[in-house]
Amino acid sequence: MRNRWVMCLLVLLAPVGGARAEPVLESLVQTSGRIIAAPAGGWLATWPGVSWTLRFSGEAVGVRLDDAVNHWVLEVDGQARLQIAPAVGPRTVWLQGLAAGEHRAQLIKRTESPLVAARVLGFELAEGTPLPPEPKPVQRIEFIGDSYTAAMGNISPGRACTGPEISARTDITQGFAVLTARALNAEWQIHAKSGMGLVRNWNGGVPHETHGTHYARALQNDPASRPAPDWQPQTVVIGLGTNDFSTPVREGEPRDAARLEQDFLQAYRALLAEVRTRYGQPRVLMLSLPLPSNGDRLRPLLQRLLEEQRAAGHQRIDLLDWGRLNGGACGSHPDAADHRHMADMLIERLQNLK
């Protein structure tokens, strides 16, 4: 893990040698994920794992950001070269000292920010030349889930974390979703929010917001925003239910335990129908794991749902159970080793899922 956190020593806030920095035209920047154009230029994003990619020839590249909330990683030629922490106000962060020649820079939003949209202003080059984007991968995978899918706190060395530490120790690129997509040469979209359930959030909190209130949004903090309609994945991976069932139903919640199970199944059926309507019969893989602290109620429900779906003629659906995980990261969430193990399991299953 340590190598992924080594910053290049020639990271500056301005190019060296007096070279004049030039912004790269937005048309030459390839975006991926639920992103919308910002009114004053650039792009806005809240979901984790969204990315901006630039091909260029040169020895330096600058990233232009206005984001005081999120952590970012800049990868060059497939290697993490620069970790960028939150900071107030617009800025350009430079990565210098690259080998002369062609490079592929990809800026990835490591963290989630459902309440605040990050603004990406683009790339800058000094004595470099932008190149046309490469074609995107043909394969596409959508990941729908909660903190496990968002890789919350996954690179933490321990379970105890403050709020800022959770953000700093979250890296979606080391989460099972991105690891899986990259291994399968697929473009990914990750629609995940920590603490959110399908019909009930963790410990019954924020009952007026659940997965259903956020899934259709391009920006989680903008109910009117809508994603581009032309993104069509061949595979949808759904990891919901952990927050619905990991804690007992408390007094005063709108539904008891029995009603929760009924509403969960109904909402999951509706989600599957929506996915099929939106994407035209993609492969669907549901994710499960044991929740022994609250009666292990999730896995039997998803097994029941799988059998029901197949009996109804839906054969392109399957269920993957993570089993027990180490949970050594923030708040006992899956750690980096867990995520690599989860990715291995998911890759194998998807390779065998027709």
Place of tokens 């106000």: 89
What confidence tier does 13 reach under pLDDT thresholds 50, 70, 90?
low
Residue 151 in this model has a pLDDT that exceeds 50: yes
Domain ranges across the chain: 2-131, 139-352
- Whether the Cβ atoms of residue 182 and residue 162 lie closer than 8 Å to each other: no
Residue 18's pLDDT is 55
Is beta strand 186-192 parallel, antiparallel or unpaired with respect to 72-76?
Answer: unpaired
Of the ranges 14-18, 92-96, 209-213, the best mean pLDDT one: 92-96
What confidence tier does 353 reach under pLDDT thresholds 50, 70, 90?
confident
Q: Give the separation between CA 55 and CA 128, rounded to whole angstroms.
A: 11
Q: Give the CATH fold of the 2-131 domain.
A: Jelly Rolls (2.60.120)
Residue 19 in this model has a pLDDT that exceeds 70: no
Tell me what the mean pLDDT of segment 219-223 comes to: 95
User: What digits encode the pLDDT tens for the residues 274-307?
Assistant: 999 999 989 999 999 999 888 999 999 999 999 9
Residue 12 in this model has a pLDDT that exceeds 70: no
User: What digits encode the pLDDT tens for the residues 167-219?
Assistant: 999 999 999 999 999 999 999 999 999 999 999 999 999 988 999 899 999 99
CA 248 to chain centre: 28
Percentage, residues of the chain above pLDDT 90: 88
Tally of helices (H runs) and strands (E runs) in the chain: 7, 18
Tell which CATH architecture fits domain 139-352: 3-Layer(aba) Sandwich (3.40)
Residue 29 in this model has a pLDDT that exceeds 60: yes
Residue 228's pLDDT is 86
- Whether the Cβ atoms of residue 159 and residue 331 lie closer than 8 Å to each other: yes
Residue 319 in this model has a pLDDT that exceeds 70: yes
Length of the chain: 354
Half-sphere exposure of 265 (CA within 13 A, CB side): 18
Residue 20 in this model has a pLDDT that exceeds 80: no
